[in-house]
Amino acid sequence: MRAQSETYQIPISLATNIASGYADPTVEARTELWVPQIERWISSDRATYHLKLYIESAANANLTKTANILAITTIVLASATAFMTFLFIRKPRPITQ
């Protein structure tokens, strides 16, 4: 039993609509030692590991695309409004003959 260890991989999945950004999950593990004198397992330590994960979200990419389309549409409509305002507000000049 001495010097035996095992590695566990725990798969995780995130929701598809999760916001992008940083997450700070904490991973804790409890280890036990075999004590042959008393023939029992006893707790030895509690290892803790802090992760910092960056999550990229497809929702964020779609939001950026939508914001770009909105910005371009706004600029086009503002330009058309300014041009039409210029045409209708300016004073007409008399036609010289």
Give the three-class secondary structure for 45: strand
Ramachandran category for residue 94: left, alpha or beta (phi over 0 → left; psi -120 to 50 → alpha): beta
Full-model pTM? 0.36
pLDDT in tens, the chain (97 residues): 455 667 777 777 777 666 677 777 777 777 777 788 888 888 777 777 777 877 776 666 667 788 888 999 999 999 999 998 888 887 777 777 7
Beta bridge partners of 54: 22
* Amino acid (1-letter code) at residue 42: I
Of the candidates 1, 51, 6, 5, the one whose C-alpha atom is nearest the C-alpha of residue 28 is: 51
Question: Could you tell me the residue ranges of all domains in the chain?
Answer: 21-89
